[in-house]
Amino acid sequence: MPDRIAFIGLGIMGRPMALNLRRAGYDLAVYARRPESMEPLAAAGAMTWRSPAQAAAQAEVIFTMVADTPDVEQVILGPGGVLEGAAPGAVVVDMSTISAAATRVIAGRLEGQGVAMLDAPVSGGESGAIAGTLSIMVGGAVPVFDRVRPLLEVLGRNIVHVGTNGAGQVCKSCNQIVVGATIAGVAEAILLARAAGVDPARVREALLGGFAASRILEVHGQRMIDGNFAPGFKARLHQKDMRIVGEAAAQLGLGLPTAASIAQYLDALVDQGLGELDSAAIYKVLESMNH
């Protein structure tokens, strides 16, 4: 079982995930663009490094958890990136949400140097990252998945091998369509209740006992009722995910009208300067459309 790990990207998600691996007793090397992001990890006994290449050189398994496709390309393939440091036989596990097509290209580049890759994006948010209860959607070769699985079990509960490289990212796109569509549906339901003079809190309570129940209705429905849109999952990241969905749909020649409408809501939020709010703030866009 691998016990020397590197973790690159220590934001809202990456920091608690890396901390959980360290607390599980693994030998951990970390890299973050801003040195202050590494302080809590250093305090927990992790080694800090000045480049992804240096952190990767110490490790059998290298996790990346950065923002978008170009960021993963930079930390893995760019100057001072993982590819420069990783030893043959190492495994890169990218847990960021990025393009499936780009993932396959990155996996091919790594494979050329004897380094395997898994795409392993997650669902479950900051709270799931802290609690180690993320849902993890994995693409890559089965023997590589089997090797890394004990580490993924530190980070999550529902760990599903979906298929070959890129399949994990496709699965995450599917997740984001369902999440976005449900947020929009819950927003419309709460707006209708309010406009009709019916208490939306009572409506939420009633719906939670029936077929319309969901985590989105429970958590985001409450956010909409309270008007509290502190993140959570930032609208600009959900916008990025719906851009990835749109690109994949275009490549496949698919029309996905619901996904397109979620993307428009998120574009509107970000254009209004509200991209740092939780994506449940789709409610605010719907509300302003109806004034």
Residue numbers of the site for ligand NAP (CB under 6 A)? Answer: 9-14, 32-34, 37, 65-67, 71, 74-75, 96-97, 122-123, 125-126, 233, 237
- 234 catalytic per annotation: no
Q: Are 197 and 167 in contact (CB under 8 A)?
A: no
Which residue minimizes CB distance to ligand NAP?
11
CB of 39 to ligand NAP, least distance (A): 12
CB of 66 to ligand NAP, least distance (A): 4
CB of 65 to ligand NAP, least distance (A): 5
Residue placing its CB nearer to ligand NAP in the complex, 125 or 275: 125
Run of H or E residues at 83: helix 82-85
Beta bridge partners of 135: 123, 158
CB of 179 to ligand NAP, least distance (A): 10
Residue placing its CB nearer to ligand NAP in the complex, 72 or 207: 72
Encoding tokens for residue 12? 């809202």
Residue placing its CB nearer to ligand NAP in the complex, 54 or 74: 74
CA-closest candidate to residue 109, choices 136, 143, 86, 142 = 86
Encoding tokens for residue 92? 């890169």
Residue placing its CB nearer to ligand NAP in the complex, 30 or 66: 66
H-type alpha helices, 196-253: 200-207, 215, 221-226, 235-252
d(CA 10, CA 236) in angstroms, rounded, equals: 18
Contacts of 97 (CB under 8 A, 6+ apart): 121, 169, 172, 176, 237, 240, 241, 244
Q: Which residues of 112-139 are buried (b: 16+ CB within 10 A; e: fewer)?
A: eeebbbbbbbbbbbeebbbebebbbbbb
Residue placing its CB nearer to ligand NAP in the complex, 84 or 126: 126
CB of 290 to ligand NAP, least distance (A): 28
Active-site entry in 172, 234, 240, 284: 172
Active site positions, annotated? 172
